[in-house]
């Protein structure tokens, strides 16, 4: 066992775990006062639920065996292998890899919750995401990283463009449409209630993302260093690009805009962090902001759906751009896991496979979300809170708590 590599994987796992509380603050600051506890709880619950699911069946379904290129088997039910010595997966230690991947399984369903903020039953959310993990996340993790279909066709996803961001972003869009709009959506202006929480969450996400991407090298090596730098560079470029857009459009750069820009820069570089040259991460980050801004400000109003915190516009669209950009800029000399160079170097092989993998991910996410939503709705007799509870606020209606008990003003 290479103890240095194991130490890096465990450190990266801790970094990825802190991203979920970071996401909770990021989302929590964007909603109304009366819904912040529900919004934060909607992320925090997965630190418990997704962890247990992963230990019982998730890791085995994702990484043991192969059934039709779609899903693993249950050979490792309950992590049934020698936790001290097993190296079946050819990583420094199988359990260390399981720990690292568990953190991805925690934050991915949490990403979805931003789209349904302020209007979904908490019990429905728990049931929905349990089923969604089983029929969407674990199959995609297997297909992309566990030797399944997407891996076999030669597509690449360094740290979760398909598995994490496109899957959650597309699922968020479908779920928000099924759930319907918030009361007064389109009639009243919504403002973030706590902007400092937003940047706190974004900062924790940026910090944790170094484990997310650089940790995906699965070794304390040159590739981890490379992924660390591409990650930071893309986030920086996207933040500046978003602020420039705001300056041109409204005349004033905002802290919420800076937070949004840096996060989508991290999203966009995720699939290619360990494949693309550093210079290209500037392009990837600089372009993701206008792409996502266009979808949020133009496409979303046209179709008039209530993706409350723009999960699809940021994670879905940003992840799709990141997968395409990987097909454009990847170099096999950086990481031989990419069997071909990107399109800008004259080969279309990888680019075509990236498009195919994006298409497959979208189909799995849409179908799986419809199934999971239908089951959750059947069990909980509808997934949307009553109009009274929505008006009163989900913090008290769903949890019996108030984040600001001394506040009695207008929300």
Q: What is the pLDDT of residue 408?
A: 66
CA distances 251 to 244, 288, 293, Å, are 9, 21, 16
List, in order, residues 6 or more apart from 124 with CB less than 8 Å away. 376, 377, 379, 380, 382, 383
Q: Are 75 and 88 in contact (CB under 8 A)?
A: no
Residue 184's pLDDT band (boundaries 50, 70, 90)? confident
Q: What is the pLDDT of residue 411?
A: 64
Q: What is the pLDDT of residue 209?
A: 98
Which DSSP category does 65 fall into?
S
Q: What is the pLDDT of residue 324?
A: 98
Q: What is the pLDDT of residue 334?
A: 98
Residue 364's pLDDT band (boundaries 50, 70, 90)? very high
- For residues 87 and 295, which has the higher predicted lDDT (pLDDT)? 295
List, in order, residues 6 or more apart from 63 with CB less than 8 Å away. 72, 76, 89, 97, 98, 101, 141, 142, 145, 146
- SS3 of residue 320 by DSSP: helix
Q: How many residues does the chain have?
A: 411
Q: What is the pLDDT of residue 91?
A: 72
Q: How far apart are CA 340 and CA 171, in angstroms?
A: 30
Q: Are 113 and 27 in contact (CB under 8 A)?
A: yes
Q: What is the pLDDT of residue 283?
A: 98
pLDDT above 70 for 28: yes
Map tokens 């706190």 to a residue. 200
Instruction: Please write the tens of the pLDDT for every residue from 301-340.
Output: 999 999 999 999 999 999 999 999 999 999 999 999 999 9
- Mean pLDDT, residues 226-237: 98
Q: What is the pLDDT of residue 167?
A: 98
Q: How far apart are CA 218 and CA 215, in angstroms?
A: 6
* Average pLDDT along the chain: 96
Which domains can be identified in the chain, with CATH numbers? 3-394 (1.10.3430.10)
Q: Are 222 and 205 in contact (CB under 8 A)?
A: no
This prediction's pTM: 0.96
Question: Which of 42, 17, 19, 26 has its CA nearest to residue 202?
Answer: 26
CA distances 106 to 42, 189, 201, Å, are 12, 32, 16
Which DSSP category does 252 fall into?
-
Residue 2's pLDDT band (boundaries 50, 70, 90)? confident
Q: How far apart are CA 158 and CA 357, in angstroms?
A: 13
pLDDT above 80 for 298: yes
Which alpha helices (H) appear in 31-58, and where do they start and end? 36-53
What does the block give as tokens for 258?
A: 């800076």
Neighbours of 376 (CB within 10 A): 24
Q: What is the pLDDT of residue 48?
A: 98
Range with lowest mean pLDDT among 167-176, 182-191, 383-392:
182-191
């Amino acid at each position: 066992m290479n103890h240095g590599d194991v130490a890096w994987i465990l450190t990266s796992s801790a970094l990825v775990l802190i991203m979920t509380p970071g996401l909770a603050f990021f989302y929590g600051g964007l909603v109304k006062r009366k819904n912040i506890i529900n919004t934060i709880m909607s992320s925090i619950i997965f630190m418990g639920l997704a962890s247990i699911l992963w230990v019982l069946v998730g890791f085995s379904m994702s990484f043991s065996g192969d059934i039709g290129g779609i899903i693993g088997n249950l050979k490792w039910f309950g992590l049934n292998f020698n936790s001290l010595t097993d190296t079946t997966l050819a990583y420094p230690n199988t359990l260390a890899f399981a720990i690292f991947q568990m953190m991805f399984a925690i934050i991915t369903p949490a990403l979805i919750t931003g789209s349904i903020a302020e209007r979904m039953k908490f019990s429905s959310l728990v049931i929905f995401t349990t089923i969604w993990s089983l029929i969407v996340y674990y199959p995609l993790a297997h297909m992309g990283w566990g030797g399944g279909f997407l891996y076999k066709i030669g597509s690449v996803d360094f740290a979760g463009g398909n598995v994490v961001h496109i899957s959650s972003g597309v699922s968020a869009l479908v779920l928000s449409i099924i759930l319907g709009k918030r009361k007064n959506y389109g009639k009243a202006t919504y403002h973030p209630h706590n902007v400092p929480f937003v940047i706190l969450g974004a900062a924790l996400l940026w910090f944790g993302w170094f484990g997310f991407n650089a940790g995906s090298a699965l070794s304390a090596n040159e590739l981890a260093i490379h992924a660390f730098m591409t990650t930071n560079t893309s986030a920086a470029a996207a933040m500046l690009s978003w602020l420039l857009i705001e300056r041109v459009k409204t005349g004033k750069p905002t802290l919420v805009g800076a937070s949004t820009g840096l996060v989508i820069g991290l999203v966009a570089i995720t699939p290619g962090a360990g494949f693309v040259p550093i210079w290209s991460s500037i392009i990837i980050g600089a372009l993701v902001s206008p792409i996502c801004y266009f979808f949020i400000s133009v496409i979303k109003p046209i179709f008039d759906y209530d993706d409350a915190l723009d999960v699809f516009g940021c994670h879905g669209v940003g992840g799709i751009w990141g997968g395409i950009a990987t097909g454009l800029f990847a170099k096999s000399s950086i990481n031989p896991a990419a069997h071909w160079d990107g399109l800008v170097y004259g080969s279309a092989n990888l680019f075509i496979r990236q498009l195919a993998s994006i298409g497959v991910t979208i189909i799995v996410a849409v179908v799986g979300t419809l199934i999971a939503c239908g089951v959750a709705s059947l069990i909980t007799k509808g997934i949307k809170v009553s109009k009274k509870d929505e008006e009163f606020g989900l913090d008290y209606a769903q949890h019996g708590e108030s984040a600001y008990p001394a506040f009695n003003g207008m929300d």
